[in-house]
């Protein structure tokens, strides 16, 4: 089966889809897009603009949960859905909770701080691209940043509520992880994958993505905000133990 992931390299929902493909060891291509220029490409595929999108033998599957559902049906092993119906129901409920209640708010809180340093933000977002693309993207980034602020409703008055959602997510994993660190049942599942990938913004574990150095003051301040929460330790540990190596058919691993 030919698999192509149309994605943003710098994005937690996209990381969720990447991790699922890598966990199942499925060789795939990644077509990395930049926020802004992605609009016509993704619109042509799905009629919307959100990534990730998976193209499997010509079939277009949009959204991280639908992608995991598709992969689980086509390539059931290793499983991300628990076999026991009760655990499966719970794991999917945890996925829904993080997808719908935590992911977008966590992104909003993160970008509200991170975009303060536009130069560094543009470098991170375009890091996987060649020097010329990076330079051009950096030049146009003030306009892209304005669009991002509008699209994600990055208004300072939302910062506290967005941080409260991050805290809710971190509290959830700290309180619900069992003795082996699993959120549901006795094995790694879609629940752990979803929670860790959508909360990775609080720590940027090295297995998730490599950030350009030196880091901006804005990014350091954001990471310091979360570093002592026990949920952050869970995210880092889950990545260390369970993040599979990339199965992408590209050299840059973006
Ligand atoms: N519920 C969706 C959320 C996807 C999402 O929010 N994608 C963002 C990147 S993190 C995106 O592509 N934003 C650009 C846009 O909507 O134009 C999923 O699980 O895949």
The reply to whether 47 and 103 lie within a common domain is no
Domain of 15, in residue numbers: 3-74
**Ligand 1 within 6 A of 99 CB?**
yes
- Indicate whether 254 pLDDT > 60: no
**Ligand 1 within 6 A of 50 CB?**
yes
The closest of 116, 224, 229, 236 to 166, measured between CA atoms, is 229
Cα separation of 95 and 101, whole Å? Answer: 10
**Ligand 1 within 6 A of 32 CB?**
no
For residue 177, give the 3-state DSSP assignment.
coil
Say what the pLDDT of residue 68 is. Answer: 98
Local structure of residue 127 (DSSP, 8 states): T
The reply to whether 69 and 93 lie within a common domain is no
Q: Which of 13, 21, 150 to mutate to test the pocket of ligand 1 (most atoms within 8 A of CB)?
A: 13
In a domain, 248, yes or no: no
Residue 3 phi, psi (nearest 5)? -125, 130
Strand arrangement, sheet containing 59-62: 29-32, 3-7, 53-56, 59-62
Q: Burial, 187: exposed, middle or buried (Cβ in 10 Å; 0-12, 13-18, 19+)?
A: middle
Cα separation of 66 and 87, whole Å? Answer: 19
Question: Any idea what the CATH number is for the domain that residue 49 is in?
Answer: 3.40.30.10
Cα separation of 222 and 132, whole Å? Answer: 29
pLDDT one-digit tens code per residue, 174-211: 999 999 999 999 999 999 999 999 999 999 999 998 89
- Indicate whether 6 pLDDT > 70: yes
In a domain, 141, yes or no: yes
Residue 54 β-bridge partners: 5, 61
Give the pLDDT band (50/70/90) at residue 250.
Answer: low
Ligand 1 mean position, distance from CA 127 (Å): 19
Ligand 1 mean position, distance from CA 8 (Å): 9
> Which ligand 1 atom sits nearest the alpha carbon of residue 107?
10
pLDDT one-digit tens code per residue, 213-238: 999 999 999 999 999 999 999 999 99
**Predicted model pTM:** 0.97
């Amino acid at each position: 089966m030919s698999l192509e992931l149309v994605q943003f390299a710098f994005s937690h929902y996209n990381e969720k889809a990447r991790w699922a493909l890598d966990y199942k060891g499925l060789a795939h291509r990644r077509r990395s897009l930049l926020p802004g220029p992605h609009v016509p490409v993704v619109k042509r595929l799905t009629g919307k603009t959100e990534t990730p999108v998976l193209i499997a033998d010509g079939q277009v599957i949009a959204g991280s949960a639908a992608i995991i559902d598709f992969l689980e049906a086509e390539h059931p092993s290793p499983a991300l859905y628990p076999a026991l119906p009760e655990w499966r129901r719970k794991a999917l409920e945890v996925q829904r909770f993080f997808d719908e209640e935590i992911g977008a708010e966590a992104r909003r809180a993160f970008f509200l701080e991170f975009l303060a340093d536009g130069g560094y933000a543009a470098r991170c977002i375009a890091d996987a691209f060649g020097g010329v693309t990076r330079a051009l993207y950096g030049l146009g980034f003030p306009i892209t940043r304005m669009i991002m602020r509008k699209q994600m409703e990055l208004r300072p008055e939302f910062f506290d509520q967005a941080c409260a959602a991050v805290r809710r997510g971190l509290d959830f994993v700290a309180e619900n992880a069992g003795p082996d660190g699993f959120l549901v049942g006795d094995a790694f599942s879609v629940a752990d994958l979803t929670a860790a990938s959508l909360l990775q913004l609080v720590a940027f574990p090295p297995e998730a993505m490599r950030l350009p150095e030196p880091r901006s003051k804005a990014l350091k301040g954001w990471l310091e905000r979360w570093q002592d929460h026990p949920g952050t330790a869970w995210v880092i540990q889950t990545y260390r133990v369970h993040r599979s190596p990339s199965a992408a058919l590209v050299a840059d691993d973006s």
